A = this chain, B = another copy of it.
Amino acid sequence: MDAITSPPTGSAAQRIEAELRRAIIAMDLPPGTRLSEQEIAAAHGVSRQPVREALIGLARTRLVEILPQRGTVVVKISTRKMMEARFVREAIETAVARRAAEAFDPAARVKIDDLIDLQQKAAQRNAHGTFQRYDELFHIALAEGAGCPLAWEAVSDIKAHMDRACHLTLTSSETMLDLVAQHRAIMAAVDARDPDAAAEAMHRHLREILRALPKVEAEHPDLFE
C-alpha cells in the first residue's frame, strides 16, 4: 500500500518540493514562515539549486511567494481567495459528478468503496493527515472513473489551498465523518444514474467545507492576510 506514502520519487528537487508541499498544507510551516534556500538545503543534505527549483514549483501554485533578492515566505490564507477557489472547484467537480452519473467506469467504482472505508477509519482514529490523503484519492478516483482525469489536474492546486484552510476547521472526528457521509451520498447518486442529484450532492459537499472559515479567521488573524 504505497498509494499513500510516496515521497522518494525522482529527482531531489521533486522530493523536496513534495515534502515542502506536504509540510505547508499540514501547517507544519504556517503562513508567514520565511523559507531560506540555505537552511532547507542543509536540512536535506543537498545544494541550493534543487531547493530553488522546488520553491519555484511551489511559487507557481501560489503556496509560497518569492520576493526577488529578498526572500521566500509561505503565503497567508485569504478568505476571499478561498471563496473564489471554492467557486472554481465547485464548477469543475459538479460537472465531473454529473458526468460520473451519466457513465462510470466499473473498475474504478469498486476502488472507490475501499477508499471511502479507509477514509472512514482514518476519521474515527482522528488521523487528520491520512484522512485528507484519502479525501484526495477519492476525488481523483471520481474524476478518473468519470473519464476526465485532466479535470483533477485543474482541481489539484485549488484543493491544496483549501486543504490548508480545512486544517484549521477540521478538528473534530465528527466533522470528518460528516464529509465521509457526503462522499457516500455522492456515490449513491452516481449509482442511481441521477446526474442532477450527483451534482447537487457535490454542491452541498463543497459548500460545507469552508463554512467555519470566517470564525477561524477571527481566532487566528495572524495566519490570514
Which residues of A come within 8 Å of B, CB atoms? 10-11, 49, 52-53, 56-57, 60, 68, 81, 84-85, 87-88, 90-92, 94-96, 99, 147-151, 154, 157-158
Contacts and interface: CB of A to CB of B under 8 A. Distances in A.
Contact of A88 (B53, B90, B154, B157): B154
A68 B154 contact: no
Contacts of A87: 95, 99, 148, 151
A60 to B, nearest CB: 6
Contacts of A99: 87
Nearest to A147: B84
A211 to B, nearest CB: 19
Contact of A148 (B11, B68, B84): B84
Contacts of A158: 154
A71 to B, nearest CB: 15
A118 to B, nearest CB: 28
Contacts of A10: 68
